[in-house]
Amino acid sequence: MLFSVGSLALMGLALGSLLGAAARYLAVAENPIEAELQAMLPGSQCGQCGYVGCAQAAVALAKGEAPVTLCPPGGKATVEALAAKLGVKVDLSTVSDDGPRIAFVSEEICVGCCRCSKVCPTDAIIGAAKQIHNVIREACTGCSGCIDVCPTEALKMNPIPVTLQHWTWPSPSSAHN
């Protein structure tokens, strides 16, 4: 009885230390995952996550300092991709995803101050001084950086309008729940 318990304990100890040693000596030196994570992020450097840009956010994600839900413009799809890459479990139903949103200009309030077009990371806002500005839908990443700088609150974030070409069937299982 004692013998069997002892031998099992010994075996466990030996194998455990072997694993520990392996983890120490066979560890991958650098973290190639950062580049991969950065590729998954929208890349608009909007700063909504609290980091300077997407590269910095990727570093934080790789270190486990930032949650996979950090990127609002990325939406559910990005959360899912990041969680899968990092092997993190995440409850997608808690992620608020009203679908991707983009900026819209209310033409009657815009004064043409050009502040928004200066902060836009993707040059998605066009318009010259004293001219009504407009957002190029395809180029807007939804970072909402322009919202705060607008002096007249002419910019609003709205969901991307669904068109016949973009509409997809909802999942039947979501209809059931």
Binding site for other proteins (CB under 8 A): 42-45, 77, 80, 100, 120-124, 138-139, 141, 162-164, 166-173, 175-176
Which residues have CB under 8 Å from 83's CB, separation 6+?
Answer: 68, 89, 90
- Tell me how far apart the alpha carbons of residues 158 and 104 are, in angstroms, rounded to a whole number: 7
What DSSP assignment string belongs to 104-128?
EE-TTT-----HHHHH-TT--EE--
Cβ atoms of 121 and 155 closer than 8 Å: no
Which of helix, strand or coil describes residue 52? coil
CB of 139 to other proteins, least distance (A): 6
> Is the Cβ of residue 36 or residue 80 nearer to other proteins in the bound state?
80
CB of 36 to other proteins, least distance (A): 14
CB of 156 to other proteins, least distance (A): 20
CB of 13 to other proteins, least distance (A): 34
Token pair for 40: 């998954």
> Is the Cβ of residue 1 or residue 164 nearer to other proteins in the bound state?
164
> Is the Cβ of residue 4 or residue 168 nearer to other proteins in the bound state?
168
Task: Give Dmax (Cα) for the chain.
Answer: 90
CB of 9 to other proteins, least distance (A): 30
> Is the Cβ of residue 96 or residue 177 nearer to other proteins in the bound state?
177
> Is the Cβ of residue 109 or residue 119 nearer to other proteins in the bound state?
119
- Tell me how far apart the alpha carbons of residues 69 and 80 are, in angstroms, rounded to a whole number: 9
